[in-house]
Each structure stands twice: as structure tokens, then as C-alpha cells.
Amino acid sequence: MFTGSLVALVTPFKNNAVDEAAFQALVAWHVSQGTHGIVPCGTTGESPTLSHAEHKRVVELAIEAAGGRIPVIAGTGSNSTSEAIELTRHAKMAGADAALVVTPYYNKPTQEGLYQHFKAIHDEAELPIIIYNIPGRSVVDMSVATMGRLARLPNIVGVKDATANLQRPLDVRREIGADFCQLSGEDATIVAFLAQGGVGCISVTANVAPALCAELHNAWRAGDYQTVFRVRDLLGPLHNAMFLETNPAPAKYAVSLLGRCENSVRLPLVTVTDDTKIKVKAAMTQLGLLG
């Protein structure tokens, strides 16, 4: 259903408000660069510090700018089930192609709690749902068995796997089947993830090098492994640079160097240090992204 390079899109700010023009220009740029899908209002989009009104507006802006040319998977997760239902219903109404719903953070639900949370959203929202499993941020890890239970519901269609456990996609494939859409949430392991049964990546690095990220996935689908490995090796230093400090601060700085947004994040995040700026700039220069 969803494959290839899907960008976990940053949310540009200007005077601490959403820069709507810059955001829609970013979406249009990604379409032109060959990105296979847009994912607004995820972690990289600073969803924790967007108000509900801003969150909904950003989803609407993404759908409008994409214009049906590539899919939009709206981040709609929350650690409040009722809030996640509200945001997912809005995404459906706005015309999103799917919702990305994170496992509830801070609450630390049991596996049964995880199942009931996602089932409630599924039953109320009538939109394809991709589970976002990211134990490093949410402190809970959805088991393969729980994911298998959820996959029996017709609109639970896939997972964004940010566990960095390369055994996981094999286990999920055996438990659920090849039709379950497995997307990596870890840029640095994407080729290995694809080899283990994945079909794409919701990518931070694609904010900065969308054409190269798309080229890697296009080459994988074509069986052109020489190109896959060449692009993988080229992107390695940039993947590392994107996580020198807390995401999305390095990505925001990198996109600002491309002249596509201001280098601005919302507290409690802060802009990257001078040392990180040097390393991000060097990685981009090495790839030919900066003159």
C-alpha cells in the first residue's frame, strides 16, 4: 500500500508560528524530487509542541500541497485515546490516505492496553492505520503477537518500526504475512530492513536528500543492487549527522542551509550547537547538497 521513501516532514516555524508557505513549498519540492509519500505531524514534525489547531492545519496544508500526487500519512497519535481518535477522524475528513499512530508514551500501557487503544481508534476513525512502534521514545514496545492481533482488524495495515531490531521484520512477516506494510523508522538500517521484508522507510534524512533517498528505493524495487549499495554508502554520513542531537534539530538546521525554512525549533528543543552545525554542513557538502 505504501512503499519507498516517505519523508517524516519537518514543520517550519517563523516567529514561533507555523510557516505555512514554507511548509507547502517543502511538500511541492518533495513531489518534484521523487519522494514517495509525505508524513506530517510526526516526531520530526514536532507534533508534541503543536497545538491541536496547528496540528490539524498542518495536515490540511500537506494534503492540499500534495494534491493527490503522492500519499499523505498524517501523524495522529497521542497518549490519550480520545485525542488520538479526534486527530484521526480529522485526518480522514481532511483527505489523508492513512494515519500514523504512535504507541502511547508515558502511560506505559500493557499489551492489552495497546491493543484496546489501537482498536478504539480503528473502530472510530475508518482510516487505514500504521502503528508507530518506537520504544526509545514511548517506553513501551508492542509485541509481535499484539501486532498480529491488531492486523486482523481491516484498517490496521502496517507498522513504522523504529526498534532498530532487524529480527523484527522477519518475525512480523511470519506472524502477519507479506501484505502487512512494514516501514523502517531507522534511516541507517534501511537496506538491511528492506532485505528482511520491509517495503519502505519513513525517513528523517529525506528532509535533506530526498532525491537520493528516493533513488535508493527505486533501485531496490528494480533489483539494481549496485546502485542501492552505492547510494547507501553515500548517505551514511548524512544519516549519522541527522542524529548527532535530538531529532529534528539537526534536520531543521540542514533544511535551513538549503534555504527552505528557518533554523527554528520549539522549546524544550533547542537549535544545534556550533560543533554539530560543522558536522551537518560537512556531511551535506560531501554529498554535493551545498555549493
Give me the CATH number covering residue 70: 3.20.20.70
In a domain, 149, yes or no: yes
Q: pLDDT band at residue 268, thresholds of 50, 70 and 90?
A: very high
State how far the Cα of 72 lies from the Cα of 96, in Å rounded to an integer: 5
Cell numbers for 172, please give them: 512480523
Torsions phi, psi for 289 (to 5 deg): -85, -20
- Region 117-135: mean pLDDT is 97
In a domain, 267, yes or no: no
In a domain, 107, yes or no: yes
Catalytic residues: 132, 160
In a domain, 165, yes or no: yes
Give the structural domain span for 105.
4-222
Cell numbers for 268, please give them: 524544550
Cell numbers for 270, please give them: 533547542
State how far the Cα of 146 lies from the Cα of 126, in Å rounded to an integer: 20
- Write the DSSP string, 251-264: HHHHHHHTTSS-S-
Tell me: the pLDDT tens digits for 276-287? 999 999 999 999
In a domain, 227, yes or no: no
Do 62 and 97 meet the contact criterion of CB atoms below 8 Å apart? no
18, containing H or E segment: strand 17-18
Residue 110: pLDDT over 90 = yes
What pLDDT was estimated at residue 291? 78
Q: Is 147 exposed, middle or buried (0-12, 13-18, 19+ CB in 10 A)?
A: buried
Three-state SS across 65-94? Answer: HHCCCCCEEEECCCCCHHHHHHHHHHHHHH
DSSP character for 146? H
Tell me: the pLDDT tens digits for 77-99? 999 999 999 999 999 999 999 99
State how far the Cα of 153 lies from the Cα of 123, in Å rounded to an integer: 9
Q: Is this structure's pTM higher than 0.85?
A: yes
Tell me: the pLDDT tens digits for 148-205? 999 999 999 999 999 999 999 999 999 999 999 999 999 999 999 999 999 999 999 9
Torsion of CA 257, 262, 263, 267, to 10 degrees: -160
- Write the DSSP string, 238-255: HHHHTTSSSTTHHHHHHH
In a domain, 71, yes or no: yes
State how far the Cα of 205 lies from the Cα of 238, in Å rounded to an integer: 7
Q: How many domains does the chain have?
A: 1
In a domain, 238, yes or no: no
